[in-house]
Amino acid sequence: MELSLVPLSKEHPVKSFDCGNAVLNEYLRRYALKNDRLSIGKTFVALDEDKTIAGYLTLSNAQIDKVDLPEPVQTKLPRYPIPALRIARLAVDQKRQGLGMGSWLLKQSFIKTLQIADITGVFAVMVDAIDEKARDFYLKYGFVSFQREPLTLFLPLETIRRAISPLNIPRTI
């Protein structure tokens, strides 16, 4: 399946997207474009060959309080808030779940993070998992839970840099 990741626009068929989670569906349908216009979060849609939305992700800036991080990580960091990029939303249409689409979207968020990190400071990618199943998905990729918030996870940029090669970016799953 050939996919392209593009910024969300009003021309995209958001009403036909259904990931099985009402909160994530509603966000895409009602709030994503507005948040984009307000620069609160930038949503990207994965389009298949038919220009159907196979999945989406939303990215925004964030800060991490170092006391939320595991002890060994805290010792390396300053006391002020640590810059991060947040995966605010990541969802896959039900028809494409179990096919590697979530992994593909996560990889795309990592690529965008590396691009942003070339311009500004980014210590880690963080995510607020919507539930335990989502948390387990992120744990599988090396994310670590915050000490006080088990559904909030992070992955250091240095880990992402080691895992992603700019020359090995697949466009298909």
Q: What contacts 19, CB < 8 A, 6 or more positions away?
A: 25, 55, 91, 92, 93, 94, 97
Q: 61 forms bridges with which residues in the sheet?
A: 85
* Six token digits for residue 124: 């880690």
Known active-site residue 138: yes
* Six token digits for residue 60: 């925004």
* Six token digits for residue 148: 């006080």
Give the residue from 30, 93, 91, 38 showing the smallest Cα distance to 60: 38
CA 164 to chain centre: 15
Of 31, 56, 138, 141, the catalytic one is 138
* Six token digits for residue 159: 């880990």
Residue 45 to residue 106: CA distance in whole angstroms: 12
Alpha carbon separation from 21 to 24, 49, 58, 113, 129 (Å, rounded): 6, 24, 16, 26, 13
Active site residues per annotation? 138
